[in-house]
Structure 1
């Protein structure tokens, strides 16, 4: 119960009760409520600035963890970019050089993404720059990986083709040195044994006894094994692919048939003197894309350096051919 207050009235020489006006009471109540509201607002404001709620603490920890994870991701991308750069360097300067393929230019490997802003949806946040830069790096890295992957697929295909090519090229001497009497005539202008006129000799003649084994000089398919070509007598032609064909003429007999697959070093026939031939020997030719080329450049698979030098000396002599 509120206390009743009095005051002394000198005119009446008595104490009178103090009567509080309603207006004053309302004024005091309003001021009290205003002060209370200001205090509450100030408390809430200060609490909001300096005192974190459990939810705010959890969100803050989550944000810090996100920033930490982005930093780790960027470090991993640094490592991935370094490894990819090393692979790209070997790809351009080793693999593609070996397989005679053009290197991939840096502009193609490291091209970014032009045109519209691909990352505008990531803008407007406190860490937008970090997120946008990381996303962009990741996109470029993924593109470089795709480019490199396709390049390695191409290199793998080139390696497979190179392996086939190396096996197919006629790279050995068709008559073994142990069975060879002599290398009678080389590629080039030679004297015809029948007309005594100098003309182009399109192959090499290997003198050997009748029945001496003849070997396929490279992998391929026998496309002819007959005597239907003028002057060659019984002869064999092997298609090695890649535009190469080897021809073996004046045979005594065959050891293969048409359409048969052969490997380098397989026995395909025997030396003879059929057709336009002066004595038992093997006439051997190599053709590339239909044009005769010098077979002496293809013996790296069976001759030593000394043997090759000796053959080169004999082949360069302008003597008489045997066919």
Structure 2
């Protein structure tokens, strides 16, 4: 039951009942509702600023997890970049240098991507800058890996070719040291055994008994095994490729035929004294690009340092050749 309120009327000196007008009642009600709404809005606003909802907490956890994943991704990219940089350094300064290939320029290894905007579809998001930078870094890293991969493919091919070259170079002595009687004459001006005049001796003479084995000094193909070359008698020529040809003259007999493939160390013939020869020996020559060169520089594959020095000393003497 509502309370009845009175007020004191000083004119009539009596208490009069307060009559509340409906309009005023409506006004008070409206003010109350407005005040309640304002208070509620203020409460919700303050709560939204300082009190997190479950959804907001979930989104914050998701954002924190994404930031952690981004940091881990960056760390992995840093590690990958460090490893790749080390490989690039070895590639330029060791591998490519060893195989006589030009180093890959730094600007080619780390070049970006010009032209159209490759990341337009990633724009317009809250973290677009972060996402775009990460994608750029990954793309550049992938490009560096592709460049390095192609370089290593090239190095692998060069290594195969280098291996063939090293096997082909005439790099051993054609007659074993234990089979030699002596090193008769070397490359250079020598006394001709028949005319006694000084003339150029284009090879090395290895004195050994008739029938002593002669070995191929490098991998190659026999291009001649005949006696149709003036002065050489029975002789063999092996084409090693890369401009190298070796010649073995004054043989007693052959152990190979024309067009036969041989490997370094294969038995190809036997020491004799055919052709223009004074005594049983092997006359050995090496050609590079059709020019005769000193064979003394090609015995690193079969002689020790001491044996090579001894051979060099004997080969340097200006004595009489045997052919």
- Indicate the TM-score class for this superposition, using the shorter chain for normalisation: 0.7 to 0.9
In the alignment of these two chains, the number of paired residues is: 321
- Per mean C-alpha deviation after superposition, the further-off stretch among 214-223 and 93-102 is 93-102
The residue number in structure 2 matching 1:300 is 300
The aligned runs of 1:132-281 (5 Å cut-off) are: 132-281=132-281
The aligned runs of 1:18-33 (5 Å cut-off) are: 18=19, 20-21=21-22, 23-33=23-33
> Is the alpha carbon distance of 1:18 and 1:207 closer, same or farther for their aligned partners in structure 2, counting shifts above 3 Å?
same
- On the 8 A contact 1:7/1:18 being kept in 2, the answer is no
Distance 1:188 1:225 in 2: 26
With normalisation by structure 1, the TM-score equals 0.86
Deviation at 1:7, TM superposition (A): 7.8
Q: Is structure 2 residue 111 aligned with structure 1 residue 111?
A: yes
Distance 2:57 2:146 in 1: 42
- On the 8 A contact 2:4/2:17 being kept in 1, the answer is no
Q: Is structure 2 residue 286 aligned with structure 1 residue 286?
A: yes
- Per mean C-alpha deviation after superposition, the further-off stretch among 99-108 and 250-259 is 99-108
Deviation at 1:124, TM superposition (A): 5.1
Deviation at 1:220, TM superposition (A): 1.7
Deviation at 1:261, TM superposition (A): 2.0
Distance 2:224 2:278 in 1: 23
The residue number in structure 2 matching 1:94 is 94
The aligned runs of 1:62-101 (5 Å cut-off) are: 62-101=62-101
- On the 8 A contact 1:4/1:18 being kept in 2, the answer is no
Distance 1:124 1:51 in 2: 29
Deviation at 1:268, TM superposition (A): 0.5
Distance 1:191 1:303 in 2: 27
Deviation at 1:224, TM superposition (A): 1.9
- Per mean C-alpha deviation after superposition, the further-off stretch among 274-283 and 288-297 is 274-283
Deviation at 1:242, TM superposition (A): 1.9
SS at match of 2:309: helix
Distance 2:73 2:15 in 1: 90
Distance 1:46 1:17 in 2: 41
Distance 1:164 1:19 in 2: 117
> Is the alpha carbon distance of 1:30 and 1:135 closer, same or farther for their aligned partners in structure 2, counting shifts above 3 Å?
same
Distance 1:2 1:221 in 2: 127
User: How far does the alpha carbon of each residue in 1:71-104 deviate from its partner, in whole angstroms, 9 at most, with x for none?
Assistant: 1122222222222222223323333333333333
The aligned runs of 1:5-84 (5 Å cut-off) are: 18=19, 20-21=21-22, 23-84=23-84
Distance 1:161 1:14 in 2: 125
- Per mean C-alpha deviation after superposition, the further-off stretch among 204-213 and 81-90 is 81-90
User: How far does the alpha carbon of each residue in 1:117-145 deviate from its partner, in whole angstroms, 9 at most, with x for none?
Assistant: 54455455554444344333323322222
Distance 2:53 2:228 in 1: 101
SS at match of 2:319: coil
Gaps of 5+ in 1: none
RMSD (Å), alpha carbons: 2.9
- On the 8 A contact 1:170/1:246 being kept in 2, the answer is yes
Deviation at 1:297, TM superposition (A): 0.3
> Is the alpha carbon distance of 1:14 and 1:43 closer, same or farther for their aligned partners in structure 2, counting shifts above 3 Å?
closer
The residue number in structure 2 matching 1:320 is 320
